[in-house]
């Protein structure tokens, strides 16, 4: 009976943490509650990883980027203005870290000099792969804009904020990327 009660209590505590809002978890994590911080990680890890993977196209790099983004977010919780927006804030950090990772890999060059770079998500099963293969051939800056706009459903304004570039630059990258994709897919 004693073990059963402890199990029920444990389950109740877990459900109570799951029911807490991001704002509550952020406040608790700011106060030093490690369980609240761990729950923020569990709640938002997948989204951060998916964003990193969509941008980089490499699962190992996405692992590193998501981990770095999560660690940065937890270390800088005091910089977060609206605690209910933790997920969006983390997504922005992950997008910037993914782009930084591509840059540090030497994968971003001026548009005219950008090499074709293969990415892992080209051969995902079940989609035929034509569009993914075409997107993979885009210069990385255009690929990132296309992925964030059409796969992650961000507005140009959100993309600009995440990448730290003007909205006009995002619109230009989208227009050029779409033009190249049309040509490649004809």
Contact indicator for 169, 160 with CB cutoff of 8 Å: yes
Higher confidence at residue 137 or residue 77?
77
- Output the pLDDT for position 72: 95
Cα–Cα distance for residue pair 89/77, rounded to 1 Å? 10
Indicate whether 13 pLDDT > 60: no
Q: Looking at 74-78, 161-165, 171-175, which range is the least confident one? A: 161-165
Cβ 110 vs Cβ 57: under 8 Å: no
> What pLDDT is recorded for position 1?
43
Report the distance separating Cα 44 and Cα 86, nearest Å.
9
For residue range 111-122, list pLDDT tens digits in order. 444 444 445 554
Q: Is the pTM of this model over 0.75?
A: no
Q: Residue 79 pLDDT > 70, yes or no?
A: yes
């Amino acid at each position: 009976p004693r073990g059963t009660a402890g199990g029920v209590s444990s389950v109740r505590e877990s459900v109570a943490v799951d029911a807490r809002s991001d704002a509550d978890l952020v406040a608790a994590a700011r106060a030093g509650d490690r369980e609240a911080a761990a729950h923020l990680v569990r709640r938002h890890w997948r989204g951060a990883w998916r964003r990193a993977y969509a941008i980089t196209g490499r699962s190992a790099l996405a692992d590193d980027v998501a981990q770095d983004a999560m660690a940065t977010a937890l270390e800088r919780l005091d910089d977060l203005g609206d605690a209910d927006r933790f997920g969006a804030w983390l997504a922005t950090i992950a997008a910037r870290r993914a782009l930084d990772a591509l840059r540090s890999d030497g994968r971003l060059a001026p548009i005219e000099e950008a090499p074709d770079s293969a990415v892992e998500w080209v051969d995902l099963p079940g989609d035929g792969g034509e569009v993914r293969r075409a997107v993979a051939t885009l210069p990385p800056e255009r690929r990132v804009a296309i992925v964030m706009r059409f796969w992650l459903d961000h507005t140009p304004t959100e993309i600009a904020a995440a990448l730290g570039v003007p909205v006009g630059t995002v619109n230009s990258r989208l227009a050029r990327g779409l033009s190249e994709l049309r040509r490649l897919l004809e």
